[in-house]
Amino acid sequence: MAHSPKITIIGAGGFVFPFRLIGDLLSFPALRDATLCLMDLDADRLDRVAGAARELVDHHGLPTVVEQTTDRRAALDGADFVIITFQVGGVESYRHDVEIPRRYGVDQTVGDTVGPGGVFRFLRSVRAYQDIADDALEVCPDAQFINYANPMAMATAYLNALGLRTVGLCHSVQGTTRMLARTLDVPYDEVSYRCAGINHQAWILELRRGAEDLYPRLRRVMAERHVRGRAAADLLADDGDHSDAALAASTYEGGNEQVRTTLMNHFGYFETESSHHASEYVPWFRKDPATTLEYLPERWDYYEICSSHDEQGDVDEQLERLKADLSPSVEYGASIVNAVVTGVPAVVYGNVPNAGRVITNLPDDACVEVACLVDANGVQPTSFGELPPQLAAINRTNVNVQTLAVRAALTGDVEHVHHAVALDPLTSAHCTLEQARAMTDELLEAHAALLPAALRPASSASSSASTLERDPVLAR
């Protein structure tokens, strides 16, 4: 890249993650003369993160320019890279995502990927994505978009459908492969692996140390360590921040892995997202509280974690750590920016449209997670071929939900919202079709102020319009 890049972060006022991402960007020498444009609608939160970013830049004596703005179009103007990290509606909307389904027996410990929680987290963000696309196609049409917002597959598919060149990024592949290496007591830099699927439900298809296939040992160790109904002890607590490599097994990942071990025992391969997440995406593990407790003996509840964050304290802690050691986390975002700017190739696992069948036995309109080559030409997905058929079959149950939700956003057909929720594996394990429809109607009402106009219940249309006029935060 012949000029110093402008890197824009939309949602820069979020807790922990945007600031950790800033640290990642600054850890690459080639990116230190960039302009970092931090944008958020909440000026107070933005001040906190921008102030910490400037303090970090000054501490290390870097030439980086840190800008801040609440003006989305100004932030996008001339951007070379745009990183999306926001959640529309915040914790209050998230509360609806988890509490309403629980009244129908659908207990989501995360609720941000598929299921009723994932569908509505996506739908209440659609207007923000539309606004970003409208501006970006005018003022930065060639920018590389990097999406970190969940639900990853839905959001990334939708942004690409709007005409934005977008890759979606997660840390589940990096986190899980590190956890497996730690479990087998193998140095991570000696492990090689091959992985493919969809976000939060990709599969470790090969796991090797040189010529050694590590899967036979993995199956034996996991079977001994993770037994249904038996809880692990002495686990690290978890605060929901998974950008850095874990030091040991925790309540989130690696400690109680009965779900992922059971999936591996029955379908042959290990999945890339924690047992808490994984239990939501299939119908077998959360049928009733007793069954859930057998597979997940210690509850990890992401809504409760988000509700209790000390945002200023989180940023202050990150700032002190990055002052002491300006090194990158396991996140891929800064690596992508560095590879495009310098032309030095990198390989990341990214979420990309399956157009042209990157994974040949998943649908064209799926968003898939595969290895991608990144260099001066941008993000280039590698062709994977066929997944083992049993794994593709599991993935398709989630792809059904994702593609229907995206279709609802693109067409304004609210019936596709009902279809997406009714076809969710966890919902269908608990609800009749009538119950699934009633639950979806409740969620449509609860989120009406944030939904696209075509998807709002008629009874909420007028009140939603007046609310949006009064509250510019909701208007995003």
Strand intervals (E) in 78-134? 81-84
Based on the residue annotation, tell me whether 171 is a catalytic residue of this protein.
Answer: yes
What H or E segment, with its residue span, contains residue 320? helix 311-324
Q: What is the largest CA-CA distance in the chain?
A: 65
Per the DSSP assignment, residues forming a β-bridge with 381 are: 372
Q: Do you find a cis peptide bond into 116, omega within 30 degrees of 0? A: no
- Calculate helix-pair angle for 258-267, 389-411, nearest 10 degrees: 120
Distance CA 99, CA 122 (A): 17
Contact by Cβ (8 Å): 312, 9: no
As given in the structure block, the two tokens for residue 5 are 């890049």
Among candidates 149, 136, 88, which has minimal Cα distance to 475? 88
* Tokens encoding 149: 């917002």
Tokens of 156: 């990334």
CA gap 84, 271 in Å, rounded: 26
CA separation for the pair 390, 86 (Å, rounded): 34
- Using DSSP, state whether 143 is helix, strand or coil: coil
Contact status, residue 395 vs residue 197, Cβ threshold 8 Å = yes
Q: How far is CA 73 from the centre of its chain?
A: 24
C-alpha 411/C-alpha 403 separation (Å) is 12
Q: Which of 96, 171, 200, 416 is catalytic?
A: 171
One-letter amino acid for residue 72 of the chain: R
- CA torsion sign for 447, 75, 163, 465 is positive
Distance CA(197)–CA(391), nearest Å, equals 8
Spell out the long-range contacts of 441-448 with Cβ–Cβ below 8 A and sequence spacing 24 or more: 442/100, 443/96, 443/97, 443/100, 443/101, 443/116, 443/120, 444/414, 444/417, 446/96, 446/100, 447/89, 447/93, 447/96, 447/120, 447/123, 447/124
As a dihedral over the C-alpha atoms of residue 279, residue 282, residue 288, residue 291, rounded to 10 degrees, the angle is -60
Which amino acids are annotated catalytic?
A: 171
